[in-house]
Amino acid sequence: MRFERIRKEYPNGVVACESISFEIQPGTVHAIIGENGAGKSTLMKVLYGMEQPSSGQILFDGQAVTIPSPQSAIDHGIGMVHQAFMTVGTFTITQNITLGAEPQRRGFVDSRRAVAEVDELARRFQLDIDPLARAQDVSVGMLQRAEILKALYRGARILILDEPTAVLTPQETIELFRALRGFAASGRTVIFISHKLREVLEIADEITVMRGGHLVGQTTPEATDEVALAGLMVGRSIAIADRHPAAAAGEVALEVAGLSCLNDLERPACTEVDLEVRAGEIVGIVGVEGNGQTELVEVIAGLRAPTGGEIHLHGDVITQASVRSRRAAGLHHIPEDRMKNGVALPESIEDNLIVDRYTGSTVRRHGLLSPKRIGRFAEELISRFGVRAADSKVPAGSLSGGNIQKLIVARELGDQPLVLLASQPTRGVDIGAMEFIYAELREARDAGCAVLLVSADLGEALTLSDRIAVIRNGRVVARFDDVAAVTEEDLGRHMLGAAESKEPA
Amino acid sequence: MTATESAAVAPPVPGDDREAARARVHRQRRSDLVAAFVAMIVTIVIALAIGFVILLIVGKDAVAAYEWLLTGPFSRTTRIGRVLIDTTTLTILGLSVAIPFRAGLMSLGAEGQLYMGALTAAVVGLAFPLPPGLGILVPALAAMVAGAIVGFVPGWMKAQFGANELVSSLMLNTVLVRIYGYILTEYLTEEGSTSVASAYLPNESLIPTFTQLTGVSFDQANLAVVLVPILAVAVWLILQRTSLGYEVRMTGSNRLFAAYGGISSRRVIILSFIISGAIAGIAGAHLVQGVNGRALLTLSVGTGFTGIMIAILARNNPIVIPFAAFFYSYLKIGGDVMEQELSVGTEIVNVILALIVLLVTSQFVMSLVKRRRLSRLEAKGQP
């Protein structure tokens, strides 16, 4: 398979890809890395038929092909596993996998055969799933395996994986990699898109690096290392893995005592969680997704009602306080799912930046909102936090994912908060934005902010945190005060439960 | 790392580039506005064209019919007056729902609020003789209060119990129209009257008509027309410049974001319903104090719903709503004229208006305009 001088210019004049040419060998795992906006997503959309190239072509076995739609891509044997899973929660795993391609008998869906086929496929590729479980009841890891099987079920020979490990535990990642190697060994091709350089070095046979719409390098894991790759990606050298521990922690700023809450299905999500975050320290919470960390943060932020326990903010009980009064008391929040509740995508950057201060004098005049003051306030934050936007009046939805996250960080850290809840602060953002967000979090901490960090990225938790707590089944199961002495494997064992950790991995 | 260093991370569009990008954004926004306007005109033209074809098919004199339809409203001053009356009523009703609609709340209660406003204006106007000026103002304000109170009910039910506002506001209409009819028949209709209607309001409570002011007959068109720009700007100000408006816009745009930012959805729901009801109440006062001079049994047949359609037609933009209301009223009166002058029924006008609504709700024309523009741009982009 070969990309031949692919160029993609969007109608608004943005050139996302410029003359990209390279080859992907069958039977290999080919990683494509680059910052957000480097053009790798666009390139994949072109390959998957979601976008048409402005010029250039795609060749299979030397034959130029046009791919007008995802359906045509599937017909060509291309499968894509998106970052956000496209599953129907109330359908079973089998139904989700066979959706739209169900085996039929006399015009009806032959569900028994569907289950058998899916089961056989899962066994063949060593992707462990429960064909009869409902999608809403299973783990993210299984959903992802189902998505992969969905592509394979449709006969994919080329599998595109967009940031597949973002939601996985280290152990699940190992299993995924084993499966990916199996595909490659069977002559299939895997295109692996990631920000995590270490994983890329581990899994890829070949690595293509993109920056600013251009192809800036091709290499193999043997010929490079993390630092060199990061440098190639951003065009200068950076170091994000360095730890910068807090100088000294101060008073307890946020205290959670015996906190319990339910999840959306009314089942217990957190049970008697005790936590303390001091001014000037970052406390990391790690755990497999769905173990209560999301709900815990929501309860502290005031978005979910607790069923027991208390929350203290600088000694004051805020357990029943409204979101607004919590914000007024200095409790800020970078939400886990920024597209869900972190921004209003159709609204302007300005409107998105003032949500916690539209009643305040910085943006008002004569008792009304002042466009001039709002504009000045927004422009200042935009330039201070390096949000790439042409104008503060453009809709937030026109920004890239990384810039939307910067927008949120700018809003939440723009004035020094006392306590910051940072949930997955760098999920899906590029390495440049990640470096920037790390620096901002540390700067806030050093200025005396108490930061509660929830991250699915153990490397991130270990890099940033001064103390770490592991959460499993809604309970804190382990605490580490000396983060320097902890490894990802230690955390992983506690995340999965001590009983499992006795088994050899 | 400090903020200055961070600029190096994301070398965001330095100096000139950023200015150019900003200019592009402004150009883009202007052309979006143009596109919206073009889409509105194209919509109306398409609907008129289809109506024309239908007339041809049924064997009517389509050319003559359209001549009356399009020029009829200007053929007599009374007809101009009727366009003004309808424009006023529909603008007020359209504006009344714009705020809840922007908050993502389906309020269908304008009809009932209009009736309650009318009833209150009539009762207050008849019961309390007041000097000129106050005589107009007090019943109108009372009508707003009445509208606000009945508007509050479905809002409160939603905020308190999560009751579906679409159903509750719709059902409430039926109740309120019946209450209106009952009170009017039992208490306000004078003995020996031949029709169900209240007595005429004292002159001090009537809004001066253009007929009185100019000596030329403009039907019952009255000074309430000045409310059209005033209310449109007021609603625009509420939405764009007040805290409540900001809360309404954010809630309508992304409810979860609003909650995350500390916006109380309860406050947004209740206040937007109250304001909506108050505005719709003015429409009732306009009919009683301006148009009819008294309360009639049938004030409107679904005018409240036409107002909702106007708001949708104008995409809840308060500045566009008066124009949409005018277009609608113009076609409506044109249709009436057409029926009077030729043997062509007003049904064809309803067909045209229904087509306009269909085209607007399906966003058919808008996507057409956008696609054309895109392909033009892409064509330009190619060397």
Domains of chain B: which residue ranges?
A: 17-60+344-383, 77-342
Residue A88 in contact with residue A119, Cβ under 8 Å?
A: no
What is the H or E stretch that residue A180 is in? helix A170-185
Residue range A82-100: average pLDDT?
83
pLDDT category of residue A502 using cuts at 50, 70 and 90: very low
Cα angle for residues A218, A223, A227 (degrees, 5° grid): 85
Residue range A363-379: average pLDDT?
92
> In this predicted model, what pLDDT tens digit does every residue of B125-163 receive, in sequence order?
999 988 988 999 999 999 999 999 999 999 999 999 999
Strand pairing report for A282-286 and A104-105: unpaired
Most confidently modeled of A240-249, A492-501, B187-196? Answer: B187-196
Residues of A in contact with B237 (CB under 8 A): 368
Cα angle for residues B289, B290, B292 (degrees, 5° grid): 80
Chain B nearest-CA residue for A394: B25
pLDDT category of residue B60 using cuts at 50, 70 and 90: confident
Q: Does A369 touch chain B (CB under 8 A)?
A: yes
Q: Which one has a higher pLDDT value, B101 or A264?
A: B101
What is the structure's pLDDT at B64?
Answer: 87
> In this predicted model, what pLDDT tens digit does every residue of A218-268 receive, in sequence order?
889 888 887 788 888 877 666 566 777 777 778 999 999 999 999 888 888
CA distances (Å), A125 to each of A139, A152, A182, B176, in order? 19, 9, 7, 66
pLDDT category of residue B12 using cuts at 50, 70 and 90: very low
What is the structure's pLDDT at A236?
Answer: 66
pLDDT category of residue B262 using cuts at 50, 70 and 90: very high
Please report, to the nearest 10 degrees, the dihedral formed by the alpha carbons of residues A398, A401, A405, A408 taken in order.
30
- Nearest partner of A441 among A282, A332, A223, A326, judged by Cα: A282
What is the H or E stretch that residue A318 is in? none
What is the structure's pLDDT at B227?
Answer: 95
**With the C-alpha atoms ordered B103, B229, B39, B54, is the resulting torsion angle positive or negative?**
positive
Q: Tell me, rounded to whole angstroms, the distance of Cα A61 from its chain centroid.
A: 35
Of all residues in chain A, what percent are helix, strand and coil, respectively (each to 5)? 35, 25, 35
What is the structure's pLDDT at B116?
Answer: 96
Q: Does A301 touch chain B (CB under 8 A)?
A: yes
Number of residues assigned to chain B: 383
> In this predicted model, what pLDDT tens digit does every residue of A43-72 receive, in sequence order?
888 889 888 888 888 888 888 888 888 888
Q: Provide, rounded to the nearest whole percent, the portion of chain A with pLDDT above 90.
A: 33
- Nearest partner of A68 among A51, A44, A43, judged by Cα: A51
ipTM above 0.85, yes or no: no
Q: What is the mean pLDDT of chain A?
A: 86
Residue range A296-315: average pLDDT?
94
pLDDT category of residue A106 using cuts at 50, 70 and 90: confident
What is the structure's pLDDT at B254?
Answer: 92
Chain A, residues 422-441, CB within 8 A of chain B, namely 432-433, 435-436, 439
Nearest to B262 among A322, A388, A436 (CB): A322
Q: Does B258 touch chain A (CB under 8 A)?
A: yes
Q: Does A88 touch chain B (CB under 8 A)?
A: no
Q: What is the pTM of this model?
A: 0.77
pLDDT at B92 over 90: yes
**A323:B10 CB<8 A:** no
The residue type of B88 is T
What is the structure's pLDDT at B383?
Answer: 33
Q: What is the mean pLDDT of chain B?
A: 85
pLDDT at A386 over 90: no
In whole angstroms, give the CA distance from residue A469 to residue A277.
11
Most confidently modeled of A165-174, A496-505, B140-149, B181-190? Answer: B140-149
What is the structure's pLDDT at A3?
Answer: 86
Read off φ and ψ for residue A117, nearest 5 degrees. Answer: -65, -45
pLDDT category of residue B292 using cuts at 50, 70 and 90: very high
What is the H or E stretch that residue A71 is in? helix A70-75
Q: Does A340 touch chain B (CB under 8 A)?
A: yes
pLDDT at B3 over 70: no
Residue range A100-123: average pLDDT?
87
Q: Which one has a higher pLDDT value, B366 or B177?
A: B177
Q: Tell me the CATH class for B77-342.
A: mainly alpha
Q: What is the DSSP letter of B296?
A: B
Per the listing, tokens 């006062």 go with: B285
